[in-house]
Amino acid sequence: MRGISDGLRITNAMRTPIIAGNWKMNNTIAQARELVNALRDDLSRLAARGSVEIVLCPPFLAVPVVAEMLQGTPIRAGAQDLFWESKGAFTGEVSPSMLAEVCAYVIIGHSERRQFFGETDAHVNKKIHAALAHQLKPIVCVGENLAQNEAGKTAEIVGAQVRAACAGLAREQAREIVIAYEPIWAIGTGKAATGAGANAVIGLSIRGALADLYDEEIAQAVRVQYGGSVNAKNAAEFFAQAEIDGALVGGASLIAPDFIAICRAVVK
């Protein structure tokens, strides 16, 4: 099994951390404006240093509004999902060509999409290809549920999800993705993985799968976030880990002081 060495800390310093706020199905357009106004100045100062990339992912209806409010700042706008076709008779879906006009990033394969809307690894892979074809950067979510974790299947499940997500991607395409390790048992439960535990899964299972698929250079180039009950109090524990390059933040991204504190923690 691939090991984690202190030498990986050197490559960690070469990866720019990325913090993405996933607002999920929260905030009207008016509320989105209020939150961006509360975040914009502080986050702009942090992102302008070049030591962290910050992305806000509101619900679809608010994406154009948020994107417009972020123009002229170093903060990026992202979406929470997309469909793999550019256009057509797909009622209710949003295409990558539509998002490409306003977004830089898009979340793909979040556990809630898999759990509530039946998304499979094959769907996730098609969405990744579609996003990259339209110059959108995917934030690809992988992670195990509580039963799989307790059965000792974390490495098997997470590694398989990474391999399925990257199927058919050239190495230079793989370099463009961001992976978010989100243990499902830690999402919205207030129960986060430990920094050391998340670090081990990312180093062995996620970077290990990337090294098997491509090579060690790609494994070390891809940024990997942690997601799952990240908050202002525990963020520093995760960011201190060599393999963790930021966070996909849920509930705390809706509270301006907390999200700002998380972004400050990664800069420190």
Q: Looking at the annotation, which residues are catalytic?
A: 110, 182
Q: Helix, strand or coil for residue 125?
A: helix
Identity of the amino acid at 202: I
User: Rounded to a whole number, what is the distance in angstroms from the first to the last CA of the chain?
Assistant: 32
Nearest CA to 247 among 259, 201, 257?
259
* DSSP-derived pairing of the beta strands 18-22 and 246-249: parallel
Name the CA dihedral angle for 126, 128, 129, 134, rounded to a multiple of 10 degrees: 130
Running DSSP on this structure, what letter comes out for residue 136? P
Tokens in use for 32?
């989105």
**Bridge-partner residues for 78, per DSSP?**
105
CB 114 within 8 A of CB 123: no
CA–chain centroid gap for 181, Å, is 8
Could you give the C-alpha distances from 161 to 74, 103, 164, in angstroms and in order?
Answer: 31, 25, 5
| Percentages of the chain per state (helix, strand, coil), in multiples of 5 | 50, 15, 40
